[in-house]
Amino acid sequence: MIPTVLTLSGVDPSGGAGVFADLKAFSALGAYGAGVVVALTAQNTRGVTGVHRVPAEFVTLQIDTLFEDVRVDAAKVGMLADAELVTTVARGLKRHGVKRLVVDPVMVAKSGHHLLQPDAVEALRTELLPLAELVTPNLPEAGVLLNGPEPRTLEEMRQAARSLCKLGPRYVLLKGGHLEASESVDIFDDGMTQTELHAARIATRNTHGTGCTLSAAIAALLPQRPSTLASVRDAKAYL
């Protein structure tokens, strides 16, 4: 049976990030994609020039109407602009019993544009992360979530990953792409053991939307692989 996977995120007109990118990743990995739009953006591969949030009551209507009719096997959450939207999405997913949830805590675009308001960080910590099977922060996002400095070494990554586990997600994938090294090393943490995932660093400027695509790929594979770690490994290879 083909799994149905839901993305709840913003729209990027360039198709490189957000809902459009997620749907392409779902399809490429054998899942049927559905989407709830929480924000519209004006952006391209070089930057974001504007964000227009969808009213929370309409996000709720999208979620409830979808779940009345469509089976959802897994979901991922991407860009959420403010605390009200974080709370709205968290309550909607909890109301409909979504168990396989990937949370990509999108906070700052690679261009430097802030996509998450400061008041939303606490809501993300307390309302959304405890619902997550997996959270996929990069190093700057990990620093914000932990209210501390950005990890800058592999040892600091290990410590941060374990601290992120204590916020409630079942698993953490801490992405090490911001470290300066010949390899890109991610840390997968289940709260008891840690696994290092190594990949050669690719010299390219075409990095727009890579975090969106990775988290979408993991969500697409969760119903199709024997474990969360297997889903993460195959999604990383796909990316």
Which position among 7, 35, 41, 175 bears the catalytic label? Answer: 175
CA distance 2 to 19: 20
- Greatest C-alpha distance within the chain: 48
Which position among 49, 65, 153, 207 bears the catalytic label? Answer: 207
Task: Tell me the HSE value of 69 on the side-chain side, using a 13 A CA sphere.
Answer: 6
Q: Confirm whether 209 is a catalytic residue.
A: yes
Q: Please write down the HEC assignment for all residues of 124-140.
A: HHHHHHHHCCEECCEHH
Q: Confirm whether 176 is a catalytic residue.
A: no
Which position among 33, 92, 176, 211 bears the catalytic label? Answer: 211
Give the containing element (helix H, strand E) for 50.
Answer: strand 48-53
Two structure tokens written together for 114: 């802030």
- Strands 101-103 and 134-135 turn out to be parallel
Q: Confirm whether 175 is a catalytic residue.
A: yes
Q: Confirm whether 211 is a catalytic residue.
A: yes
Which position among 18, 78, 212, 228 bears the catalytic label? Answer: 212
Which position among 18, 78, 143, 209 bears the catalytic label? Answer: 209
Give the other-Cβ count within 10 Å of 171's Cβ: 23
Q: Confirm whether 212 is a catalytic residue.
A: yes
DSSP for residue 190: -
Two structure tokens written together for 181: 């090294």
CA distance 166 to 91: 21
Which position among 41, 87, 210, 213 bears the catalytic label? Answer: 210
Contact between 17 and 87 under an 8 Å Cβ cutoff? The reply is no
Q: What are phi and psi of 38, to 5 degrees?
A: -110, -10
Q: What are phi and psi of 108, to 5 degrees?
A: -135, 130
Q: Which residues belong to the active site?
A: 175, 207, 209-212
